[in-house]
Structure 1
Amino acid sequence: MDNGASSYCRFLKGEKDAIVEIVSEYNNGLVLFLNSITGDICLSEELAEDIFCELLLTKPKYNGKSSFKTWLYAIARFHAYRLLKRRKRFVNSPVDELYELADKENLENSYIKNEQKIQLHRALGKINPEYSQVLYLTYFEGFSNSEAAKILDKNNRQIENLIYRAKQALKAQLEKEGFVYEKL
């Protein structure tokens, strides 16, 4: 069992502190993943809280067929799309405002590196949401293609095709903005 699964198992057995371990381990990554779906960081934070509350209150069954992280992210994806379906639209918050705020707080010696990250995230926000989600899951969160397939409800071949098209779209978007990212 991975760390999340063992923590969840301990929580189900009555150890209340184990849920704190799960939240601290997965909260940031989950919020960023949800943000790739919703486009609203505040909404993503609320959704992540709701998901952790669901774990706390309803204690859904984890069967161990996938990693705990994959299972948790699949639940998160389901909740995000259900919420968006209820709202009948995507909520678009101007991500530029968040980056401008971050720019003011950066130290001078890391400014260039952070600016490149900002450009990358902006470009991710401009490509097809399905592309940005698959890139986020596989490159930023480190999920395998099969785990990403489970989260996104696709098969492995579809994920491979999505990753290829996503990388091409991201590269084209970055080049359009005058930025060349060497690792694509």
Structure 2
Amino acid sequence: MDNPDAPSTDADEGLASSEHVTPPEEPPPVPPDDLNQRLAEVEDRWHRAAADLDNTRKRTARELALARDAERARAATVFLPVVDGLEDAVTYAKGVNAGLAEGMESIREQAVAALERLGYPRIDEVGVPFDPRIHEVLSVVERGDLPPRTVAAVARLGFGTPERLLRPAGVVVTAAEE
């Protein structure tokens, strides 16, 4: 009886055209002022949501950059003892075998270059004014050929910039004028 391929009967057609089926009601007309107010509210909410999304994107990008920089610093800090060890090995090898010292110096330079690629350039300039942001005084010497408070020697390499310092350079500075 409920065969979809069966032809329809008069009884089926009578149900379809019955007066008992009511069409859906249309919503009552809304005054134009209410529509404009509602539209303004929806637009305001949309603008606020868009601004919130933009702020969230910016905050997330900043947080990601900070996390990336912190991880880069952690990796570079772990690498510092390797550079220091290579420096000591080069110093020792210079007294034993010049060829060995050259090879080890090459490896040390590769390690320093790796730190530079991570964003921490070496700090090893001599003859520059002492800068407490990037230098750590290890000793003070009297030297008449250099101005006061000038880096006379670098005892330990430093890495970084004043804004992003991994390790200050250990330096020997000239005495300050009295």
Bin of the TM-score, shorter chain as denominator length = under 0.3
Q: Which has the higher contact order (CA 8 A, sep 6+)?
A: 1
TM-score (ref. length: structure 1):
0.21
TM-score (ref. length: structure 2):
0.21
More helix as a share of residues: 1
